[in-house]
Amino acid sequence: MSSASSSVRRIAATVLAAGAIVSAAALPTAAHDGDRHHQQRLRVEISRVQADSPGREDRSNRSLNSEWVEITNTTRNPISLRGWTLRDSDGNRYRFDNVRLASRAIIRIHTGNGRDTRTDLFQGRRDYVWDNRSDTATLRDDPGRTVDTETWGRRR
């Protein structure tokens, strides 16, 4: 029994040692794969766009503010949007000032005038920004890296 017990212990020790070596070798790869997946998952995204203002497009402030882009923070942490930009295909640009987007929060950026709140921002424009038929909304971070884009229709 003593030699059988000794053999079982040696086999168990060998299996455990092999498992430790395999785990140590796989750990950096698994961590790297997780980082890559984390980088691909969006932290902030353009979640909805209402480019075609409902009702009559008469350039009233009400009509202008019915045109908007919605941005969502998909993380558990608040994110500062200071210096970020939102652009259309024609180069119209909205620059975020001192905006902090709470965890899992949504904020709408309206075209017209209004009072900024935690859930709504206003560009202060007197004309429509988003083309009803086709356009692209591009969200960029402070260094200018593209964070997300949303395209609709066909570009000419």
pLDDT along the chain (156 residues), means of 10: 59 53 42 40 89 93 98 96 98 96 98 97 97 97 97 79
Amino acid at 145: R
Assess contact for 90 and 138: CB atoms under 8 A: no
Buried b (16+ CB within 10 A) or exposed e, 119-145: eebbbebeebbbbeeebbbbbbbeeee
SS3 2: helix
pTM for the model? 0.72
SS3 64: helix
